[in-house]
Amino acid sequence: MEYLSRLLQLGSMQPAFRFHPMCKSLKIINLCFADDLVIFFKANYGSVQIIKQVFDDFYNSSGMKANLSKSQVFFGGLSAQDKAQLQEVLHLEEGSFPLKYLGIPMRPTKWKEADCGEILKTIKLRLHTWSSRHLSYAGKVQLITSVLLGLRNYWMNIFLLPHSVIKEVDKLCMWFLWGNNGSRSNFHLTSWSKVCLPKSLGVLGFGEGSKWNKAMLGKFIWAINHQQETLWEDIVNASSHGKFKIGLLYARLIYQALAKYHQFVWSRMSVPKHKFITWQAVNSKLLTRDHLLRVFMVLDSVLCPVCELVDESHNHLFFECLFSQQVVRLIQE
């Protein structure tokens, strides 16, 4: 690739070659991504002839030949006649946008909502697979964090997703967590906006879509500021210090006080199920009978099912119930 890049640079110095209008100021002619090569140039006969000659010289020197069946040419602002004339030289199939690279649709213009259909399709497919399983809240949290948001973050790592797509992903995750029956969702113990806040604020830490997307793309700005002699360094010049962390930047976009109990709730020594139940208890979000009564759910009794003396509440369940007090005494002995 380095030898081919040098040949392309030498070819760009010939009088008949013209740079692509968007690449002229930086004199960019090619970009390499893993085993893929993208070449930019003005769509005129002279430039096409030079590019073809470069590939012929590369083949004669190395014995490696471009696979025309796996290569495409993309035009912009040309008539059908001009395209046909250039294709006679290149012998390449004309491509169309969006094109896919590593499963991600690419286009030269602003991303459209239709380009994100693949991420929504994949998430819905996973949810359909899990719908027949009896999962606890803690299990659902693990799947949302590691799988569903992992899919979302893969795309956010590259693009600024449309707001409508981010909202749709959040809605699918919310329905999966709290439950959804057709067009009607079940009782939400905590609003999704709070659930997405960082764990240091005492919540589940899913990451609010728009802010998390911006925090993830912030790493490119950090990379620009800390790498020397790169293409990005030529485009943008800035300076900063320290090591970039997505979570830290995201946390700075949230203006709320830290929860003093977060280290206790999210201790690494606890199993996921215990973490989730403890988080619910600390925030009074367990489905105790007094809580269900407040949301107008019909119950046969609101008394504690253990002692049957006092209405069941968070305070009674953990501190006042005779059975709870007995358990605490046995633990302390």
Give residue-wise pLDDT tens across range 95-146.
887 777 776 777 777 777 777 888 888 899 999 889 878 888 888 988 998 8
**Poorest-pLDDT segment among 36-50, 154-168, 177-191:** 177-191
Whole-structure pTM value: 0.65
Same domain for 214 and 118? yes
Same domain for 90 and 122? no
Torsion sign (Cα): 224, 227, 232, 238:
positive
Residue found by looking up tokens 């070659």 in the block = 17
Would 250 be classed as within a structural domain? no
Same domain for 129 and 58? no
Would 322 be classed as within a structural domain? no
Task: Provide Rg for the chain, Cα atoms.
Answer: 29
Same domain for 53 and 134? no
pLDDT per residue as tens digits for the range 210-244 = 888 888 888 877 776 666 555 555 554 464 455 77
Domain that holds residue 84: 2-96
Same domain for 121 and 193? yes
Report the number of distinct structural domains present in the chain: 2
Would 131 be classed as within a structural domain? yes
Query: Taking the CB of residue 314, how many other CB atoms lie within 10 A of it?
Result: 17
**Poorest-pLDDT segment among 60-74, 128-142, 170-184, 295-309:** 170-184
pLDDT of residue 18 exceeding 80, the answer is yes
Residues forming a β-bridge with 105: 100
**Nearest-angstrom CA–CA distance, 104 and 98:** 9
Identify the domain boundary among 52, 71, 96.
Answer: 96
Would 103 be classed as within a structural domain? no
Q: Where are the beta strands (DSSP E) in 183-317?
A: 184-185
Q: Check residue 110 and give its pLDDT.
A: 72
Residue found by looking up tokens 């027949």 in the block = 132
Same domain for 92 and 122? no
Q: Check residue 240 and give its pLDDT.
A: 46
Residue 168 CB partners (closer than 8 Å, separation 6+): 120
